[in-house]
Structure 1
Amino acid sequence: MAIELHKQARQQAIESIQRYFEAHMDEPIGNVAAGGLLGFFLQEIGPAIYNQGVADAQERLQARVAELDIEVHEDEFTYWAAQQRAAKR
């Protein structure tokens, strides 16, 4: 599955790469070169970051599912016990 960015996010990422180059490198980087670098990062490194995000989300969801029986548990067969408590009052 290819990792894609929406048009606005892609433009912001390109501008961020250009700003980084201006601040930290000897030469600025052009719009086309920054777009190419972004494409490389998305194809080469993006899947590792994406997969880690999926694994983190899956871990959190599994923890929540494991707690589901505690959160929504209802005691069974309580009618007669409730009747006995009411009769004692």
Structure 2
Amino acid sequence: MTIEIAPEARKQAVTSIMRYFEENMEECIGNIAASGLLGFFLEEVGPLVYNQAVADVQERLQQRVSELDLEVHEDEFQYWRKRQRPIK
């Protein structure tokens, strides 16, 4: 599965990569090189991050599903118990 990001997000990511190189490396990186580096990371490392996010969501959903019976449980056959008159 190819990880795609929206054009505006890609533009912001490329700008961020260029800024990172400018502030933290001894050389600047151009727009085309930054775009290529982003593409590499999306293809090489992106699936790792994506798969971990999916696993995290699956775990959370499984927790919620296991708690569902506690949240929506209703006792059966309560009609007569609710209508019993107190004995005097």
TM-score range, shorter chain: over 0.9
One-letter code aligned to 1:63: Q
Segments of structure 1 that go 5 or more residues without pairing to the other structure are none
Cα drift, residue 88 of structure 1: 1.1
Q: Percent identity?
A: 64
Runs of 4+ with >4 A deviation:
none
Q: Show the counterpart of 1:3.
A: 3
SS at match of 1:77: coil
Query: Which string of whole-angstrom CA distances, capped at 9 and with x for unpartnered residues, describes residues 28-82 of structure 1?
Result: 0000000000000000000000000000000000000000000001110011111
Give TM-score, length-normalised by structure 1: 0.95
1:23 aligns with 2:26: no
1:56 aligns with 2:56: yes
One-letter code aligned to 1:6: A
Q: Distance in 2 between matches of 1:63 and 1:9?
A: 32
1:76 aligns with 2:76: yes
Cα drift, residue 83 of structure 1: 1.6
SS at match of 2:40: helix
Q: Show the counterpart of 1:38.
A: 38
Give TM-score, length-normalised by structure 2: 0.96
Q: Distance in 2 between matches of 1:40 and 1:10?
A: 13
SS at match of 1:88: coil
Q: Show the counterpart of 2:86.
A: 88
